[in-house]
Amino acid sequence: MSSWRSLGSSKYALPALIGVVVLWILNAAFDSAFLSVAQWGALAASAAPFVLAAMAQAPAMLSGRGGIDLSVGPLMGLVNAIIMGALVGHGTTSPVAIIVISIAVGVTAGLLNGVLVTIVRVPPIIATLGTYFVFSSLSYIVLPLSGGRAPAWLANLGTSWGPFPAVLLLVLAVMAIWLAVSRTSYVRNLLATGSDDRAAYTAGVDVTRVRIVAYGLGGLIAAVGGLALTVGLGSGDPGAGPPYTLYAIAGAALGGLSLAGGRGGLLGAAAGGFIFFLTQNLLTAIHLSVFALQIASGVVVLVAVGLNSAGSYIGRSRVGKMA
């Protein structure tokens, strides 16, 4: 029970999980790839960056006080650019080197966001907008042109081993990290801070460190997202990252995370990111034009988030009556 709870008590994620199931069935009806196990690997490789981007968004959002991380997408892109431009481009293909350096870049970038938000006291939306531009430009400096071929071990993650899409390993790794963190007291500190930072602070929670760590964790997950992006692309693309910022925010909101902080968890964010991918895929499968597709995804997000906040409002007022 405690490990289930530690994904951030799970009830909030239920609508998103149901949404995943429904959309999965709809997709299967229109897209033959969903029915052929052999293609799951490739499908998962294009879905994973959506899922991981939304998960990378979660810790910042949970930390409250307008917590948001706009730099998630560019950071994923920067990791992709560094892997292909700085490492593979210069002959470094070893998994250990690539993984360690990617994670180090992600954590450093995340901690930088955290320090800007807490110690320099720049509002999160501005601070991470700043790093959004920085990381985007850095990607082009590291890798001016798209291209290159991902090393074989990375490319292989885009296939499936039997029915198991290899890229899921990356998502599971992040889940495992979050579970491990949840076994500590950190998640309670994070949710307390996000729910009411004054209450948390006066109760003795070190809210500054809690927030710095939240952004650092987000950076770490974004780095894994960058690996997934590389798997999906099979090469390097300095412009691939930035769009994921908006997908990440939409996914987190779809996953039942409160934009005010303190409610939600990584499970919901993952489900939300996946929903966003499934919607896009479904709309493409039914041959909607690219422009209509954007409009439709926008509407999906608005409706889902509207239902989400109405749901929590109704739930509350019912109990409020009793109290």
Partner 1 sequence: MPVSRETFVSADAGPAAVGGPPAGAAGDALLRVESLSKSYGETQALDAARLEVARGEIHALVGENGSGKSSLVKVLSGVTGQDEGIATLDGTAVRFRSPADAQRAGIMAVFQETLVASELSVLDNVFMGQDRLFRRGRSRAAEAEASSDVLSQLGLGDVDVRRPMWSLTLAQQQLVTIARALVQSWKLLLLDEATSALDVDGRDRLLEVLREAVGDGQRSVLFVTHRMDEVMQSSHRITVLRGGRTVGVVRRGEVALDQVLSMMAGESGTAAAVVAGGASGGPLRVARRSDAAAVLRLSDVVLQPGRVPFDLLLPEGGVLGVAALEGHGQVDLLRCVAGISSPQSGAVTVVRDGREVDIHHSRVSRHNAKQAFRNGIVYVPSDRKSEGIFPGLSVLDNLIVPSLPRLSRAGVLRRRKIADEVGDAVRDLGVKTASTRSKIETLSGGNQQKVVMGRWLLTTPRVLVLNDPMRGVDPGARRDLLELLHEASSRGMAILLFSTELEELLTLCPEIAIVRDHSVTQVLSGEELTLDGLIAGMFGQTTKTEAVR
Nearer to partner 1, 9 or 294 (CB): 9
| Extended strands (E) in 80-212 | 160-161, 164-165
Contact segment (CB under 8 A) with partner 1 among 30-38, 156-164, 256-264, 275-283 equals: 256-264
Tokens for 23, please give them: 């959309």
Nearest one of 46, 16, 52, 17 to 31, comparing CA atoms: 46
Binding residue for partner 1 (CB under 8 A) from 83, 143, 213, 248? 213
Which amino acid is present at 74? Answer: P
- Which positions ≥6 away from 262 have C-beta within 8 Å? 62, 64, 191, 192, 193, 194, 195, 196
User: Binding to partner 1 by residue 263, rule CB under 8 A?
Assistant: yes
Binding residue for partner 1 (CB under 8 A) from 196, 239, 293, 309? 196
User: Binding to partner 1 by residue 310, rule CB under 8 A?
Assistant: no
User: Binding to partner 1 by residue 111, rule CB under 8 A?
Assistant: no
User: Binding to partner 1 by residue 317, rule CB under 8 A?
Assistant: yes
Q: Which residues of 74-100 are buried (b: 16+ CB within 10 A; e: fewer)?
A: bbbbbbbbbbbbebbbeeeeeeeebbe
**C-alpha dist (Å) from residue 54 to 6, 11, 28, 181, 253:** 18, 18, 23, 18, 9
User: Binding to partner 1 by residue 252, rule CB under 8 A?
Assistant: no
Nearer to partner 1, 94 or 202 (CB): 202
Binding residue for partner 1 (CB under 8 A) from 146, 209, 235, 309? 209
User: Binding to partner 1 by residue 202, rule CB under 8 A?
Assistant: yes
CB of 204 to partner 1, least distance (A): 3
Per CB under 8 A, residues contacting partner 1 are 2, 9, 181, 184-186, 188-189, 191-192, 194-196, 198-206, 209-210, 213, 258, 262-263, 316-317, 319-323
